[in-house]
Amino acid sequence: MTITEGNATAVADTPGIQQPRRGALRRALRDPGVLVPGVLLLVIAAACVLAPLLTKQSATRSSIEDTLAGFSGDHPLGADGVGRDVLARLLYGGRESLLGALLATVTAAVVGGPAGLVAGYFRGWFDSAVNWVFSLLLAIPGIIMLLVVLVAFGNNIYLTMAALGVLLAPNVFRLVRAAVISVRGELYVDAARVSGLGDARILRRHVVRVVVAPVLIQAAQLFGIGIIVQAGLEFLGLGSTTSPSWGAMLNDAFANIYQGPLLTVWPSAAIVVTVVLAALLASGVRDVVQARGRARTVVRRRKPVTRSAAGSPPQPMGESLLRVEDLCVRYRDSEVVRGVSLDVRRGEVLGIVGETGSGKSQTAFSVLGLLPPDADWSAAELRFDDVDLLRLSDRQLNAVRGRRIGYIPQEPMTNLDPAFTIGWQLVEPMRRHLRLSRPDARARAIELLDRVGIRDPRRVMRAHAHELSGGMAQRVLIAGAVSCEPELVIADEPTTALDVTVQAEVLELMRSLQKEQGMAMILVTHDLGVVADICDRVVVMRSGAVIEANDVTGLFAEPAHAFTRTLLRSTLVDAPMRAPLAVPSAEVSA
Amino acid sequence: MLKFLARRLAGAVVLVFAVTALTFTAMSAISGSVARQIVGQTASAADVQAKAAELGLDRPVWLRYGQWLGGAIHGELGRSWFSGESVGSLLGGKVPITVSLVLASVVLSVVVSVAIGVAAAVRGGWIDRILQTLAVAGFSFPSFVLGLLLALVLAVQLGWLPAVGYQPFTEDPGLWLASITLPTIALTVQVVAATSQQVRGSMVDVLQSDFVRTLRSRGISAPSLYLRHVLRSAAPPALTVLGLQTIGLIGGTVVVEKVFGLLGLGTAIVSGSTQGDLPVVMGVVAIMVVIVVVINLALDLAYAWLNPKVRTS
């Protein structure tokens, strides 16, 4: 039996807290996911309240001749171990079970809600104090405390359920507090404060409304927990010995489990059905609230739709290392890459330039099979050397990725695994692809780090991502990309996130590595200065399509497309003068 | 790292102190009638008074609590008011039963939650839908109801597993496993329902992060990517849920022990509290809080291992 509430992500899962939505609850009431469990719960409650109308039997009168009686007109569900009518006990007993659970839920909301509101809105010492007390409450094994409370207060089940409410209050507190903290940072709350609204008014008008939906969702779950805990206590033989309840019925059934196994089924069903309905009600409300927010993307695999020209013999590749033919990428309704074709020859540097959102990065990801799962993509041809990338399974693709094609990402700080050391992240692919022993892979990783200009490579091997500067992290990522001596490296705006001084060094490092290993490179960038520096050929993209492709000198000398001319003009005006680049030496920003 | 551990340890000490003090106060509130019960209904008022004085009930609560605490720190938990037996030896034989249940349930919960959560996050589709259904079902089947139904079908009707009784591990590991299988399953389902949901949720979040794309670009195998890298970053929030669930699970043992006739700590506290046997109740509460504290510290250590930022700061 679990008193603590598992749904720690209730806040994160409830986009409703991000902005207040009028009518969300009214809408919820029309949704079948809410309506059906809600109405059924009401039916159960009504049946319990109206018990005298539904059965003439008493829930407490026992008769010896009816002991363990089977189904009959008098006892539609039979009679229990001391001859009491099961149906009557189920109906009358529900009163105590439902009322007790309701009491626990309300207590939890009343104790935890306002505390969370005040703590989240004003923070400070009150927040830390209450937070501390409530986290202590969460660590208390609830049932044990309730046993003691129950005994200390003369078996009063309602007092005990109120105590349960206090033990459950931290859940409400945390939910409300987190919701308030997040809404407090919103601009419209700032605006309200600037326009002179008092704290009480802001709390009432902006904050409370935001908190209502998540608290209602949680209340339904807490109600379920209340039913369960109360039944558990009564099953143990605690609480009133005379008044009927579902837990007391289970206790009686347990005593007669061999003679009357069916007796176990009725109260079990009553408990489980009620709790299921409460849980469904909670998730129904959540779905409605969430439906307006960001639809959560569930990871899915979708087979790429290949539009390969069937029957046509493989084209002679010439010097082409990578050939992309008619690549399309779309997300739901928007097509972000439309029919891109390009070639990369061995040892050359191809620049892909374009504005933000022109589809450059998406093109690069497609080659590596790294598009997100909700992307729909297709290509007439996607060939790397002699490998048809379109036909590879994930496993086969993994033999190419990292080994023959390397990747350098844009944002160094988020592209290293925060939980593993730098050394581990460099060593793992080399052991896999190059079949190196661990010491050999380590030695090579240290060499590589040294080569990319990291000062104390042995120390960095033991470091984690959060201990590195952006420039160092990017050097580590470059080392990772070239560690297995790939034939092609795809670099996705590798210098955009770096300081200007570091940018030049990293670019120079990439150029020298490219020359040294004789590898081809695709350099995705929006910086024509970078293109002029190191590219042999350029592809210009706009709105998902290639609008111009030429070698660098040709493109800069006579741009064919008007957009390219605009790009060039803006670059020439804004570009800083480039000094000749020095060979990278020590890490500057480390 | 040391600071992190020191803070957790301090919290643990406060928890032990607060819970035992609360329990002691509550139990003392009913101690007045206990003396009468012990000496019997026919005894004279003087006898009752003498008994109360013998139990120390004439002294203030805080003084008696201090005395109990002083003894407990040295492992001396006093004697049962009713049987006169030493609480230490009374509970000594019961601790392994409850600890077996708790440990087996935590281990099983971790394994199953990770398996289901990872599968649902990575594969999606029907596995994911089954998980969502299981989460609602698991939440709704309290451990004792599930235990009763399991016992009814598997033990009573089919006779596959023993319905009642405990076999010590040291005597026969096979029988030990059979005797705790059903109660462990009954206790695990709710924990798994909550924890696997969290594993799935944070796996889905981590899968969308940049570093996972970069790891993929390095050609790392799927098992290593998901189980080593993604799971490790996704684990901390799941650990938090597991910690809370474990505390609930310790309470759950009380009810499940009754269902399966295991004479563990739960049985002791139920009979102890209904009688008003303060030393026995205090003994059980102290041991259970220590179990909670130990498990929470273990989870904190796991958390620090998973998250290098905690270690270095």
Q: Tell me which of A60-69, A117-126, A443-452, A471-480 is least confident.
A: A60-69
Report pLDDT for B213: 92
pLDDT higher than 70, residue A19: no
DSSP 8-state secondary structure symbol assigned to residue B163? S
> In whole angstroms, what is the distance from residue B157 CA to residue A232 CA?
24
Name chain B contacts of A6, Cβ cutoff 8 Å: 139, 193-195, 197-198, 241, 244-245
Which residue from A minimizes the CA distance to B196? A6
Report pLDDT for A312: 38
Residues B271 and B241 in one domain: yes
Nearest CB among A250, A419, A428 relative to B306 is that of A419
Owner of token pair 């919701």: A179
Give every CB contact of residue B161 below 8 A, 6+ residues apart in sequence. B154, B155, B178, B181, B182
Name chain A contacts of B213, Cβ cutoff 8 Å: 365, 370, 409, 415
Distance of residue A204 Cα from the nearest chain B Cα, in angstroms: 31
Which residue from B minimizes the CA distance to A259? B156
Name chain B contacts of A370, Cβ cutoff 8 Å: 213, 216-217
pLDDT band at A68 (very low <50, low <70, confident <90, very high): low
> In whole angstroms, what is the distance from residue A125 CA to residue A357 CA?
46
Q: Tell me which of A11-25, A566-580, B158-172 is least confident.
A: A11-25
Residues B102 and B184 in one domain: yes
> In whole angstroms, what is the distance from residue A76 CA to residue A86 CA?
8
pLDDT band at B215 (very low <50, low <70, confident <90, very high): very high
Tokens of A104: 């626990």
- A280–B285 CB contact, under 8 Å: no
Question: Tens digits of per-residue pLDDT, A227-242?
Answer: 988 888 888 888 777 7
CA A51 to chain CA centroid, nearest Å: 46
Q: Give the residue among A229, A211, A18 at the shortest CA–CA distance from A109.
A: A211
Report pLDDT for A527: 83
- A138–B195 CB contact, under 8 Å: no
Is B308 within a domain? no
Residues B258 and B116 in one domain: yes
- A139–B296 CB contact, under 8 Å: yes
More confident residue, A206 or A468: A468
Residue to test with chain B: of A136, A138, A143, most B Cβ within 10 A: A143
Is B312 within a domain? no
Domain C-terminal end among B79, B113, B128: B79
Is B88 within a domain? no
- A4–B247 CB contact, under 8 Å: yes
Q: Give the residue among A473, A474, A470 at the shortest CA–CA distance from A491.
A: A474
pLDDT band at B248 (very low <50, low <70, confident <90, very high): confident
Is B100 within a domain? yes
Name chain B contacts of A141, Cβ cutoff 8 Å: 247-248, 250-251, 288-289, 292
pLDDT band at B163 (very low <50, low <70, confident <90, very high): low
Residues B133 and B270 in one domain: yes
pLDDT higher than 70, residue A587: no
Q: Give the residue among A528, A514, A517 at the shortest CA–CA distance from A571.
A: A528
- B142–A283 CB contact, under 8 Å: no
Residues B42 and B161 in one domain: no
Which residue from A minimizes the CA distance to B20? A145
Alpha helix stretches (DSSP H) within A487-526: 500-517
Report pLDDT for B272: 87
Residues B141 and B50 in one domain: no
- A419–B307 CB contact, under 8 Å: yes
Q: Is A221 left (phi over 0), alpha (psi -120 to 50) or beta?
A: alpha
Residues B40 and B101 in one domain: no
Residues B159 and B216 in one domain: yes
Is B310 within a domain? no
Q: Mean pLDDT throughout A502-514? A: 87
Which residue from A minimizes the CA distance to B309? A466
Give the global pTM: 0.81
ipTM for the complex?
0.85
Residues B23 and B124 in one domain: no
More confident residue, B42 or A543: A543
Domain C-terminal end among B79, B104, B127: B79
> In whole angstroms, what is the distance from residue B218 CA to residue A409 CA?
12
Average pLDDT, chain B: 84
pLDDT higher than 90, residue A88: no
> In whole angstroms, what is the distance from residue A438 CA to residue B261 CA?
53
Is B280 within a domain? no
Number of domains chain B is built from = 2
pLDDT higher than 90, residue A461: yes
Report pLDDT for A13: 40
> In whole angstroms, what is the distance from residue B31 CA to residue A498 CA?
71
Residues B178 and B46 in one domain: no
| Beta pairing partners, A381 | A325
A574 burial via Cβ count (<10 Å: 0-12, 13-18, 19+): exposed
| Beta pairing partners, A260 | none
Tell me the CATH number at B101: 1.10.3720.10
Report pLDDT for A20: 43
Is B144 within a domain? yes
- A417–B193 CB contact, under 8 Å: no
Buried b (16+ CB within 10 A) or exposed e, A18-42: eebbeebbeebeeeebbeebbebbe
Which residue from A minimizes the CA distance to B210? A415
Which residue from A minimizes the CA distance to B250? A141
Report pLDDT for B33: 75
Q: Give the residue among A67, A148, A145, A59 at the shortest CA–CA distance from A96.
A: A59
Question: Tens digits of per-residue pLDDT, A472-505?
Answer: 999 999 999 989 889 999 999 888 888 888 888 8
Report pLDDT for A258: 76
- B218–A138 CB contact, under 8 Å: no
Residues B21 and B147 in one domain: no
> Using an 8 Å Cβ cutoff, are A39 and A53 in contact?
no
Task: State which residues form the domain around B72.
Answer: 2-79
Determine phi and psi for A7, rounding to 5 degrees. -80, 70
Is B67 within a domain? yes
Q: Mean pLDDT throughout A450-472? A: 90
- A299–B251 CB contact, under 8 Å: no
Report pLDDT for A299: 36
Domain C-terminal end among B48, B79, B110: B79
Residues B63 and B113 in one domain: no
Report pLDDT for A490: 93
> What is the rounded radius of gyration, in angstroms, for the C-alpha atoms of chain B?
24
